[in-house]
A and B are shown apart, each in its own frame.
Chain A
Amino acid sequence: MNGSVNECLTDRTAENQAVETPPADPLSEVMIESTPILCCKDLCKSYKKNKPVLKDFNFTVEAGKITGLLGPNGCGKSTLLKLVSGILVPDGGDILLCGQKRSEKSNALISFLPDSPYFSGGQRVSGMLSYFADFYPDFDMTLAKNMLADLGIDPKARFRTLSKGTKEKVQLVLVMSRRAKLYMLDEPLGGVDPAARDYILKTIIGNYSPDSAVVITTHLISDVEAALDDFAFMNYGGQILLSGSADEVREREGKSLDTLFREVFAC
């Protein structure tokens, strides 16, 4: 499994190096380098009074990176993704996407995978593909069909007849078949069998372009670790305990992210 993921990583590094060639217009170079895909400034959110889930939360995601947002249950990882995708309204602070303040238009830039199924049971998988193709101009129908075939999912099947894991796979196919700027995946491997995790990670790594970014929240750190460029350990209240380049931290600490996570968040 790791071998194939590492293969993809090598491919992607080559792609990134190709993109790093200076563009013709120096102004556009400054724009690309200085504008992060996602920037959260002093973000606040609470569901109950005096119990903030996120308090003055600051977070930046650069283009061409896969960032792992790792933390214990209830620390606000999913809340952050929902705020960025527009499902929740922040109590304070700013969310900037590609330098622009978040609005309904920003939804075209974001491809969000929530941690629960969101399609009604009666719909067929093919109908869901058409739905995405209708609403998102960046949706790649051929890619989606190929991915469904690879995962052995029948496009004619009704959503309610699929198992929990297969439903998650279908939604992941829909999300990853878009050419979005920011992919936000909330527990993408949660209900998926280990064999399919390999394919999903390959899909995540292989399908996004170098000018886009991926944010993954998960508890299965050892499974995604090989795919992560950056990481952030998030504590209650949205406090970032440790963040940076995954490779650098592994080298510095001499431990995997999984081991480090267990040490930092030991009960």
Chain B
Amino acid sequence: MLGKCLKYDFKETFKLWWVGALVSLLSALPLSFLMFSLINDIDDESSFPWQVFPLMICYIGVVVGMMISLLSVYVRYYRHFFGKEAYLTFTLPVKRTTLFTSKYITALFFNIASYAILIFGMAGFMGCAILDAVGSVSLGDAIMAALTVVVVYALFFLYTISLSTLSYFFIITFCGVYFKKYSLLAIIVAFFCLSFFGSYAMMLPMMGGMLGIFGLVGLIDANIVSMGPLQGFALIGAGLLLVIVAVTALNMLLAFLSKELLERKLNVT
């Protein structure tokens, strides 16, 4: 049944998602070149306003496109579980856990696809930056540096996407179950709060992790801690593993709470 649920979830989500993804891609492609030329011509004041205006338009296009494509998965989740479609959803001979899992897999796929499209759209900026750097460093080093940035950001996005998807799912479920008539308003307020405070909260583990790594490297370098480089990396690895375990545990808790609410408390009215 999971396969069938996925088939319809992908189909229905794509109908909303592709519009945002297309806007995002079409805006990101010129934006990447405009950004690069603006950085290069930063001292040339005569061309500055003519570059900034289209750049702003493209930037707004990227933001709006990304918002539409990212929100599409949550719109689908809300409609399917708390909209009029819920009458059909909850009378299907499918376990609620399966329905939830299908939504989560679909959301992860489309959220990752949204970021992938943005990265693809910004490939022009990356390409220009690599070519520009070739004079001072070798082509191989420039490509490696660009790939490192992409991989690091991709990992960060994966961590953020998995956590934010389940957080948003939990918010929708909680508001849908307890606020009923005003659930949509409650969801919008909660989404805003989570995005506002969540963006700061996300900085904390990042900054903490970076400070920890820098501090550890500093300690190792200064030989204050009698530790070889292997032990140092092992310690950093263990720290990262701890973060991964903590995020996974938080994800599992949110998924469990959402499932429990759907199974025990949901009354479609």
Binding site for B on A (CB under 8 A): 47, 82, 85-89, 104-105, 107-108, 110, 112, 114, 116-120, 122, 131, 134-136
Which of A85, A87, A108 has the most C-beta atoms of chain B within 10 angstroms of its own C-beta?
A87
Q: Give 1 or 0 for each of B64-97: 1 = CB within 8 Å of chain A CB.
A: 0000000000000001000011111011111110
For window 210-269 of B, CB contacts with A under 8 Å fall at: 264-269
How far is the CB of A233 from the nearest CB of chain B, in Å? 25
For window 1-34 of B, CB contacts with A under 8 Å fall at: 1, 4, 7-8, 12, 15
C-alpha gap A245/B224 in the complex (Å): 92
Whether the Cβ atoms of A89 and B93 lie closer than 8 Å is no
Chain A residues with CB under 8 A of B8: 131, 134
Whether the Cβ atoms of B91 and A87 lie closer than 8 Å is yes
Known: A47-B269, A104-B95, A118-B85. A87 touches B90 (CB 8 A): yes
Whether the Cβ atoms of B264 and A89 lie closer than 8 Å is yes
Select which of A82, A107, A114, A122 is within 8 A of B93 by beta carbon: A107
Q: Give 1 or 0 for each of B95-113: 1 = CB within 8 Å of chain A CB.
A: 1100000000000000000
Whether the Cβ atoms of A107 and B85 lie closer than 8 Å is no
Whether the Cβ atoms of A104 and B87 lie closer than 8 Å is no
Whether the Cβ atoms of B88 and A119 lie closer than 8 Å is yes
Whether the Cβ atoms of A88 and B267 lie closer than 8 Å is yes
Interface residues on B, range: 20 to 34
Select which of B7, B12, B84, B92 is within 8 A of A107 by beta carbon: B92
Chain A residues with CB under 8 A of B91: 85-87, 107, 110, 112
The chain B residue sitting closest to A186, CB to CB, is B87
The chain A residue sitting closest to B89, CB to CB, is A118
C-alpha gap A118/B265 in the complex (Å): 21
Known: A134-B8, A135-B92. 11 other contacts (CB 8 A): A47-B269, A86-B90, A89-B266, A107-B90, A107-B93, A116-B84, A118-B86, A118-B87, A120-B85, A135-B94, A136-B93
Q: Write 14 A-B pairs (CB below 8 A) sorted by A numbering.
A: A86-B90, A86-B91, A87-B90, A87-B267, A89-B267, A107-B90, A107-B92, A116-B87, A119-B88, A134-B4, A134-B7, A134-B8, A135-B1, A135-B94
The chain B residue sitting closest to A122, CB to CB, is B15
Chain A residues with CB under 8 A of B94: 104, 107, 135
Whether the Cβ atoms of A87 and B93 lie closer than 8 Å is no
C-alpha gap A107/B266 in the complex (Å): 16
The chain A residue sitting closest to B5, CB to CB, is A135
C-alpha gap A85/B89 in the complex (Å): 11
Chain A residues with CB under 8 A of B84: 116-118
How far is the CB of B51 from the nearest CB of chain A, in Å? 41
Whether the Cβ atoms of B87 and A135 lie closer than 8 Å is no
Chain B residues with CB under 8 A of A82: 268
Known: A118-B85, A118-B88, A120-B12. A88 touches B95 (CB 8 A): no
Whether the Cβ atoms of B96 and A87 lie closer than 8 Å is no
Chain B residues with CB under 8 A of A135: 1, 4, 92-94
Which of B8, B79, B90 has the most C-beta atoms of chain A within 10 angstroms of its own C-beta?
B90
